[in-house]
């Protein structure tokens, strides 16, 4: 098993995908059925395959058509129904294999696997073995966000991130995992850009869905920075520039958004989540000065 895992680590994507065909997974299933190998050992191998696939952003759909997938789904459902005698480690392994190896998730199974993986991700023990499991759970969760959550509505996608971050904010290590493994900055920027493009900023402010979701993304970003001081350094400038653009666009229409953006910039500076140079280059200083100038002009006009 260890030799095989070592060989897999050395393969390129072409070699990897040429080996793991439906027939191979069916053969593994047959070996389990004939009791030539225990399912636990097969799961260990599947987990390693899933790690390589997810980390390398590889795509293959052979596992979707295999008998082994059907066994895996059945086993997850059986384990989920168990109470006190459930092997939590084995259950988490099954869930990780499922979300990292399939291409199309079943909503029911996803609803079982996500809470399980979040529970693993929340483990705060500092032992090396536990931290490896935490990293594995985060990697598995990242494959869900990348492939499945794009099928959610924009509101649903923001709620998924809100759910994840609100449960991990007390642990700075996990916060860094959200920033670096799940690429929060990249995802938030894309969503904000698409949402902002859908809003008619010339109209007077109204509580349309896009406005509400934009505000939610700003609040989620603020929560992550406030508690974990975490943003991926390579992605944060793009995200901050995007938020600066949103702030400027919302000057006439979105008072809540504008105030939320300014509050977020204050959080970034106070928590030192990013350096002063990054804030400057992203245009934060300029937009804050513009905001101060506008507020001063409003006060002068009111006094008249």
The whole-number pLDDT of residue 23 equals 93
Residue 294's pLDDT is what? 75
Write out the two tokens for 100: 């990292």
Find the Cα–Cα–Cα–Cα dihedral 211, 213, 215, 216, rounded to 10°: 170
Which of 130, 64, 142 shows the shortest CA–CA distance to 98? 64
DSSP symbols for 42-62: HHHHHHHHHHHHHHTT----G
Interatomic CA distance for residues 188 and 222, integer angstroms: 12
Residue 30 has a pLDDT of: 96
Residue 50 has a pLDDT of: 87
Domain ranges of the chain: 1-151, 152-304
Q: Tell me how far apart the alpha carbons of residues 144 and 136 are, in angstroms, rounded to a whole number.
A: 13
pLDDT on residue 147? 58
Which residue numbers in the chain have pLDDT < 50? none
| Distance in angstroms (rounded) separating the CA atoms of residues 223 and 166 | 8
* Four-CA torsion 285, 287, 288, 293, nearest 10 degrees: 120
- Note the pLDDT of residue 152: 55
Instruction: Look at residue 37 in the predicted model and tell me its pLDDT.
Output: 93
Mapped onto helix, strand or coil, the DSSP state of residue 238 is helix
CA angle 43, 92, 184 (to 5 degrees): 115
Q: What is the pLDDT of residues 74-118, one digit of tens each?
A: 999 999 888 777 789 999 999 999 988 987 777 678 878 888 887
- Tell me what pLDDT residue 66 has: 94
């Amino acid at each position: 098993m260890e030799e095989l895992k070592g060989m897999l680590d050395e393969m390129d994507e072409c070699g990897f995908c040429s080996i793991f065909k439906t027939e191979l997974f069916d053969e593994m299933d047959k070996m389990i059925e004939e009791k030539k190998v225990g399912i636990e050992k097969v799961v260990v191998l599947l987990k390693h395959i899933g790690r390589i696939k997810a980390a390398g952003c590889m795509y293959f759909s052979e596992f979707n058509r295999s008998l082994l997938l059907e066994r895996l789904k059945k086993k997850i459902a059986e384990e989920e129904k168990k109470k006190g005698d459930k092997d939590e480690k084995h259950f988490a392994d099954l869930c990780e294999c499922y979300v990292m190896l399939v291409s199309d998730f079943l909503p029911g199974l996803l609803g079982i696997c996500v809470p399980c993986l979040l529970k693993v991700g929340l483990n705060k023990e500092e032992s090396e073995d536990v931290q490896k499991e935490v990293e594995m759970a985060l990697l598995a969760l990242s494959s869900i966000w990348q492939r499945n959550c794009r099928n959610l509505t924009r509101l649903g996608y923001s709620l998924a991130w809100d759910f994840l971050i609100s449960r991990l904010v007390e642990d700075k290590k996990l916060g860094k995992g959200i920033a670096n493994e799940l690429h929060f900055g990249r995802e938030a920027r894309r969503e904000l850009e698409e949402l902002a493009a859908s809003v008619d900023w010339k109209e007077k402010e109204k509580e349309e869905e896009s406005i509400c979701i934009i505000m939610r993304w700003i609040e989620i970003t603020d929560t992550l920075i406030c508690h974990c001081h975490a943003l991926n350094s390579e992605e944060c400038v793009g995200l901050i520039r995007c938020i600066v653009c949103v702030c400027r666009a919302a000057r006439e229409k979105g008072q809540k958004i504008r105030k939320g953006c300014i509050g977020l910039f204050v959080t970034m500076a106070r928590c030192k989540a990013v350096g002063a140079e990054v804030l400057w280059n992203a245009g934060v200083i300029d937009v804050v000065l513009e905001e101060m100038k506008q507020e001063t002009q409003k006060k002068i006009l009111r006094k008249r």
